[in-house]
Amino acid sequence: MVDPFLSIHHLRDNIFDTAGIQYPISIRDQMIRGRKLVDRGFENGLINDKDKNLLVVGAGAGGVSAAIRAAVDFKVKTVILEREVDAFVAQAQAFTRYVDPVQYDFPRDGWDAGCFPPLGTPPMPLTYLKGFGNFLVADWRKELNAAIRSANGLLHFSPSHKVTSYNVTSDKKIQATVAPAPITKGQTMQSFLWPLDFGMAINCVGIAAERTNIAKYSGPNFWSRDSITDLHLGTSSSPATAVISGAGDGALQDFIRMATSRDTAKEVYLAIKSADPSFFSTIEMKLYSLDDQCQRAYAIGGEKRHDHPLLDWMHKQTNELADNVLADPALKNAVKQMLRSDLPTIDLIMECDHFDRCYALNRLVALLLIKAIEEKTGQTVITPNHSLSDVQCVAPGSNHFKHRHDVKTNQRSGTCADPNRSSTPNVAKQVDVVIVRHGAYAATTATIQGTPTSTRPLARQTLPYHVND
């Protein structure tokens, strides 16, 4: 496999994967991967407009981008198989989660434009404008339907088909086997779908289930409707009390929403910056440099022992920048103005003493808010070197995250780089809202010729901001 882009996503034979990626995995990244895999598959003769068809498994933003590109632009017969009843299920219920395709390009130029692809760059199969997740899905479903019509029969979308394995024939054609329901057990696609076999398959099944569970407790999923920006977090307590466990982008996004009741870090940042825009040009240059150094080092790591020194350094450097911002009285005031009037008591529980790999914008805005809350209330926000061990609803029978819960934590020795950290239990405390943002389980990919393929994650990558051709 010579093509570098195909090669880093290659599973086996002509089967490629966007699911086992460690980083980056934003919606926009998956769209770029979907489109580029098709471009390179076409360029390398794996698919064509005659007899080499494309199979896409998973109708998320990545899979649908791949399928539309192939069928509409290259006239390749394409089938999308999706286990759920419709496309884009990940974001369909995200009524309270505001996404923006370019906000985390911060502090690069154009990070506040809010649209993808950016003006002046080639069109993408799906248009991605900033907004709440469920609105995006409504637009994308219309675009998928329009593409199916304009592809004149070349694009076939089959929801309710869960692929369990890929099979490769002796002449290197790929077929797929689907799960029992609603199809008879063991039945293969050949018996009910057109086309029968494929020159290339792209496994776009997403990054697997999110880890929002502790013991029997299950917090809200990232892409679900939540009450974080509601008055008193949607509870009857005033002030409400909350625990957020995690130190990555999911945890920081929710911390920022909870501290400000604003929808995005971008909104908070722009409001603070407006108090003294010229000051921020220096800060943004420094952040750009830090983020670049972090990204380069992160891409060649893979284990906690590689990441810890880097993330620890990033945390300290960004802390210094936040202190510089807050040394300016006008900016400090602007940060304080961002805190909501019904400010809850928030405990951010982190496994180590630094944030995880996260976007520069979330990192800076979270640190500014943490410092402002601590000054205003005298209470510490971050509980470092702790892990959540159990969460139990005070009223038996309900584990909904808006009910009061007893929260148990362990104090951890050493740092996250140490595989043999000890844990010492703390006394349980009661809070109103518990949010667990512990990333996702490793993606499980369907078997290929009976062999499970992807317990080994694909490498961390750096990706372009947009496509150029």
Ligand X SMILES: Cc1cc2nc3c(=O)[nH]c(=O)nc-3n(C[C@H](O)[C@H](O)[C@H](O)COP(=O)(O)OP(=O)(O)OC[C@H]3O[C@@H](n4cnc5c(N)ncnc54)[C@H](O)[C@@H]3O)c2cc1C
Instruction: List binders of ligand X among 83-102 (CB under 6 A).
Output: 83-84, 89-90, 99
Instruction: Answer yes or no whether residue 63 interacts with ligand X by CB under 6 A.
Output: yes
Nearer to ligand X, 299 or 440 (CB): 440
* Residues pairing with 393 in the sheet: 405
- Binding residue (CB under 6 A) for ligand X from 205, 258, 265, 352: 205
- Rounded to the nearest whole angstrom, what is the least distance from the CB of residue 228 to ligand X in the complex? 14
Instruction: Answer yes or no whether residue 27 interacts with ligand X by CB under 6 A.
Output: yes
Query: Which single residue is written with the structure tokens 């620890």?
Result: 312
The upper half-sphere exposure of residue 47, i.e. CA atoms within 13 Å in the direction of its Cβ, equals 32
Instruction: Answer yes or no whether residue 20 interacts with ligand X by CB under 6 A.
Output: no
Instruction: Answer yes or no whether residue 25 interacts with ligand X by CB under 6 A.
Output: yes
Nearer to ligand X, 46 or 94 (CB): 94
- Binding residue (CB under 6 A) for ligand X from 37, 61, 126, 382: 61
| Contact window for ligand X (CB under 6 A) among 27-35, 44-52, 119-127, 165-173 | 27-35
Burial classification of residue 378, based on how many CB atoms lie within 10 Å of its CB (0-12 exposed, 13-18 middle, 19 or more buried): exposed
Nearer to ligand X, 49 or 84 (CB): 84
Nearer to ligand X, 75 or 211 (CB): 211
- Rounded to the nearest whole angstrom, what is the least distance from the CB of residue 433 to ligand X in the complex? 17
| Contact window for ligand X (CB under 6 A) among 4-12, 81-89, 317-325, 389-397 | 81-89
- Rounded to the nearest whole angstrom, what is the least distance from the CB of residue 204 to ligand X in the complex? 5
- Rounded to the nearest whole angstrom, what is the least distance from the CB of residue 231 to ligand X in the complex? 24
Instruction: Answer yes or no whether residue 437 interacts with ligand X by CB under 6 A.
Output: yes
| Contact window for ligand X (CB under 6 A) among 19-27, 294-302, 335-343, 415-423 | 19-27
Distance CA 290, CA 306 (A): 17
Contact track, ligand X, 309-348, x by CB under 6 A: ----------------------------------------
Instruction: List binders of ligand X among 182-201 (CB under 6 A).
Output: none
Nearer to ligand X, 207 or 233 (CB): 207
- Rounded to the nearest whole angstrom, what is the least distance from the CB of residue 263 to ligand X in the complex? 11
Instruction: Answer yes or no whether residue 26 interacts with ligand X by CB under 6 A.
Output: yes
- Rounded to the nearest whole angstrom, what is the least distance from the CB of residue 24 to ligand X in the complex? 9
Judge whether 30 and 18 are in contact, CB under 8 Å.
yes
Which amino acid is located at 31 in the chain? M
Instruction: Answer yes or no whether residue 443 interacts with ligand X by CB under 6 A.
Output: no
- Rounded to the nearest whole angstrom, what is the least distance from the CB of residue 81 to ligand X in the complex? 5
Q: Tokens in use for 264? A: 């995005």
Instruction: Answer yes or no whether residue 206 interacts with ligand X by CB under 6 A.
Output: yes
Which residues lie near ligand X (CB under 6 A)? 18, 25-28, 30, 57-63, 81-84, 89-90, 99, 162-163, 204-207, 210, 222, 249-250, 437, 440, 446
